C-alpha cells in the first residue's frame, strides 16, 4: 500500500522545515558572531598590549646617554632603565594575560621573542652604562665631550638605546599586525555569517510562500469545498460530489461525505418512490372503499333476482322436456337458450358473490405457512387448466421460507397471478417463479414471457375493474383483490415490465414475523 500523507505528516514536515531554517539561521549567526566576539576580545587584549607597549616607548624615548659618566649621572640613567623595564614587565603581564585567554593565534610566540630580545638589550644597555676600568680612572672634566674622551662611552650607550627602540618598534608592528589579522578574521566571519543569513532568509521566504500555498491546498481549500458541499446538500442537491485528492484525512472525509450524499440520494429517491406509491395506494384504497360500498349495494340488489332467474330457468327446462319431445326441431334451440340463461345467471351471481367478498374483507386467522408448499399446491391444481397446455412453469425453491399469512388468501393471490401469466403467454411461453428472503420479508417473483405491459397499463394495473386480459373475459377485480389481500398482510405487490411483448414480472413480499403483519394489517384496514 502506498504511503499516504496524513495531515499530521504534512504539519510535521512544515514544522521540521521551519525548525531547519531557524537552525540554519542560528548556525549562520553563530558562525559570524562567535569569531567576531573572539576577534573583539583579541583586539581588546592587543589594545591593552599596545597601551603597555606605548608606555614602554614613552619610557624609552626619555632615555638619554649621560653627559659625563660620573656616579650621579649613571645612577640617574639606571633609574630610567629600571622604569623602562617596569613598563616592559607590565607589557609582559598583558601579553601573558592574552596568551592565557587564548586570544593570540600563535600564542604570542613572536611577541615573546621580542620581549626576550628587549630583556637582552636592557641587560646590554645596563652593561654599557657602566664605564670601563680605564674610563673609570679618568677624571672627567667639563670639556670631556668636546675633546673626544667621552665619545666611545656615549656612542656605546646610544647604540644600546637605539637597539631597544628598534626592538620596541618591531614589537609594536607585531601587535598592529595581530590586530589587523584579527580584524580581517572577524570581517571574513562576518561576511560568511551575512551570506548564510541572507541565503537562509531568501530560501526561508521562498519555502514560507510554498508552505502557505501547500497549507491552502492541504487545509483551507478542502475545508472550503467541504463547506460548499454541505451547503449544497443542505439545499437539497444530493447529486453534488466533492472531488478532493489531497491524500489525507480531508480526502477520506470527502469520500465519506460523497458516500453519505449517495445514500441520502438513494434514500430520498426511495422515499419519493414510497411516497408516490403510498399516495397511489391511498387513492386506490379510497377507490376500493367506494367500489366496496357500491358493490355491496349492487350485490344485495341483484343477487335475489339473479337467483330467481336461475331457478326459474332450471324449473322451465325440466317442465318443457315433454313438450320439446314432440317438436325435436325446436328442442335443441330452446334447451340451448335455457342453459345459456342459467350459465349467465350463475356467472352474474358469482360476480356479485365476489363483490360481496371484496366489500367485506377478510377476518381469517393467519399462521406460519411454508410458501414453497403453498405455491406447489397451486401448481398441482393449475396443471389441469386449459391455459396450461403448451406453456411451461419453472419453480425450483432452494430453501424453506415460512411467512405469517392466511394460506387460503395467499393461495388465491398466487393462483390469480399464475392464471394471469398463463393467459398473457402464447404457446411455448415460460413462467419462472422464484422464492427467497430479503430485508426480513419473504419474496415471491413471478416472471413470464408474455405480452408485457406499457407504462399506462402499469399505472392502473391494480385499479378495480381494470383488465388487460387478451380473452376479454376478466372482470378486473382479481389484481385489485390480490393487492388488498397482500396489503392487509402487511406486504407489498409490485408489477414491472420492460415494455410491450417483453414479458412481465410481479413481485410479492410478505412479512416473516407476526408483529409486522399486525401493524400493517391495522394500517391496511384503516386505509380501506
| pTM: predicted TM-score of the whole model, two decimal places | 0.40
SS3 category, 91:
helix
Give Cα separations from 473 to 111, 383, 425, 467, 478 (angstroms): 136, 20, 16, 9, 12
pLDDT of 254 reads 81
| 397: phi then psi, degrees, rounded to nearest 5 | -65, 140
End-to-end Cα separation, the chain, in angstroms: 60
pLDDT of 504 reads 92
Report the Cα 354 to chain-centroid distance in Å.
62
Which one, of 355, 481, 473, 350, lies nearest residue 412 by Cα? 481
CA distance 476 to 457: 12
pLDDT of 127 reads 77
| Residues 375-380: contacts with CB under 8 Å, at least 24 apart | 375/414, 375/433, 375/435, 375/444, 377/411, 378/411, 378/414, 378/415, 378/418, 379/418
C-alpha cell at 525: 384496514
pLDDT of 473 reads 53
pLDDT of 433 reads 93
SS3 category, 495:
strand
Task: Write out the residue limits of the CATH 3.30.565.10 domain(s) in the chain.
Answer: 363-528
pLDDT of 522 reads 43
CA distance 337 to 449: 39
Name the CA dihedral angle for 134, 139, 143, 144, rounded to a multiple of 10 degrees: 20
Task: Write out the residue limits of the CATH 1.20.120.330 domain(s) in the chain.
Answer: 7-139+146-215
Residue count (the chain)? 528
Name the CA dihedral angle for 319, 321, 322, 327, rounded to a multiple of 10 degrees: 130
Q: Which CATH class is domain 7-139+146-215?
A: mainly alpha
Spatial contact of 505 and 446, defined as CB atoms under 8 Å apart:
yes
b/e per residue, 241-266, with b = 16+ CB within 10 A? Answer: ebebebbbebbebbeebbeebeeeee
- Helical segments of 361-429, H only: 371-382, 407-424
A 10 A CB-CB count for 233 gives 18
pLDDT of 146 reads 45
CATH number of 363-528: 3.30.565.10
Give average pLDDT by consecutive 10-residue segment, the chain, 528 residues: 62 80 78 76 80 80 66 74 83 83 77 82 77 55 52 73 78 80 79 80 81 76 81 80 74 82 82 75 63 63 73 74 68 75 75 63 74 89 75 86 88 88 88 90 92 84 66 61 85 90 92 64 45
Amino acid at each position: 500500500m502506498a504511503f499516504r500523507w496524513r495531515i499530521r505528516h504534512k504539519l510535521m514536515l512544515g514544522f521540521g522545515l521551519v525548525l531547519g531554517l531557524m537552525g540554519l539561521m542560528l548556525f549562520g549567526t553563530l558562525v559570524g558572531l562567535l569569531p567576531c566576539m573572539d576577534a573583539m576580545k583579541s583586539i581588546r587584549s592587543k589594545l591593552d598590549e599596545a597601551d603597555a607597549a606605548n608606555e614602554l616607548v614613552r619610557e624609552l624615548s626619555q632615555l638619554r646617554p649621560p653627559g659625563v659618566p660620573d656616579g650621579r649621572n649613571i645612577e640617574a640613567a639606571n633609574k630610567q632603565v629600571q622604569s623602562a623595564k617596569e613598563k616592559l614587565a607590565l607589557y609582559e603581564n598583558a601579553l601573558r594575560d592574552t596568551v592565557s585567554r587564548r586570544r593570540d593565534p600563535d600564542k604570542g610566540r613572536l611577541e615573546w621573542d621580542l620581549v626576550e630580545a628587549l630583556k637582552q638589550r636592557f641587560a646590554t644597555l645596563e652593561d654599557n652604562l657602566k664605564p670601563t676600568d680605564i674610563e673609570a680612572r679618568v677624571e672627567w672634566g667639563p670639556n670631556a665631550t668636546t675633546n673626544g674622551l667621552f665619545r666611545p662611552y656615549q656612542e656605546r650607550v646610544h647604540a644600546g638605546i637605539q637597539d631597544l627602540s628598534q626592538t620596541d618598534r618591531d614589537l609594536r608592528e607585531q601587535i598592529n599586525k595581530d590586530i589587523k589579522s584579527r580584524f580581517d578574521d572577524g570581517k571574513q566571519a562576518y561576511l560568511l555569517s551575512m551570506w548564510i543569513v541572507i541565503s537562509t532568509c531568501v530560501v526561508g521566504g521562498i519555502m514560507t510562500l510554498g508552505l502557505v500555498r501547500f497549507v491552502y491546498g492541504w487545509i483551507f481549500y478542502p475545508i472550503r469545498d467541504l463547506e460548499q458541499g454541505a451547503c449544497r446538500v443542505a439545499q437539497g442537491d444530493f447529486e453534488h460530489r466533492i472531488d478532493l485528492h489531497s491524500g489525507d484525512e480531508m480526502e477520506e472525509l470527502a469520500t465519506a461525505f460523497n458516500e453519505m450524499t449517495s445514500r441520502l440520494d438513494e434514500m430520498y429517491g426511495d422515499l419519493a418512490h414510497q411516497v408516490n406509491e403510498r399516495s397511489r395506494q391511498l387513492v386506490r384504497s379510497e377507490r376500493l372503499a367506494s367500489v366496496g360500498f357500491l358493490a355491496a349495494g349492487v350485490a344485495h340488489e341483484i343477487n335475489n333476482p339473479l337467483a330467481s332467474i336461475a331457478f326459474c330457468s332450471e324449473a322451465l327446462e325440466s317442465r318443457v322436456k315433454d313438450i320439446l319431445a314432440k317438436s325435436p326441431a325446436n328442442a335443441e334451440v330452446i334447451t340451448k337458450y335455457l342453459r345459456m340463461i342459467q350459465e349467465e345467471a350463475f356467472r352474474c351471481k358469482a360476480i356479485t358473490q365476489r363483490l360481496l367478498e371484496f366489500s367485506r374483507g377478510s377476518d381469517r386467522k393467519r399462521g406460519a405457512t411454508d410458501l414453497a408448499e403453498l405455491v406447489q399446491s397451486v401448481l398441482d391444481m393449475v396443471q389441469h387448466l386449459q391455459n396450461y397446455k403448451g406453456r411451461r412453469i419453472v419453480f425450483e425453491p432452494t430453501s424453506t421460507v415460512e411467512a405469517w399469512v392466511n394460506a387460503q388468501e395467499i393461495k388465491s393471490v398466487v393462483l390469480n397471478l399464475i392464471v394471469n401469466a398463463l393467459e398473457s403467454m402464447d404457446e411455448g411461453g415460460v413462467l419462472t417463479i422464484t422464492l427467497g428472503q430479503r430485508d426480513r420479508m419473504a419474496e415471491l417473483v413471478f416472471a413470464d414471457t408474455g405480452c408485457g405491459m406499457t407504462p399506462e397499463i402499469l399505472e392502473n394495473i391494480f385499479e378495480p375493474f381494470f383488465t388487460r386480459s387478451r380473452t376479454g373475459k376478466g372482470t378486473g377485480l382479481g389484481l385489485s383483490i390480490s393487492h388488498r389481500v397482500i396489503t392487509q398482510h402487511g406486504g407489498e405487490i409490485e408489477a414491472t415490465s420492460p415494455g410491450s411483448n417483453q414479458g412481465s414480472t410481479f413481485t410479492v413480499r410478505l412479512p416473516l414475523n407476526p408483529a409486522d403483519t399486525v401493524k400493517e394489517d391495522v394500517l391496511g384496514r384503516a386505509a380501506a
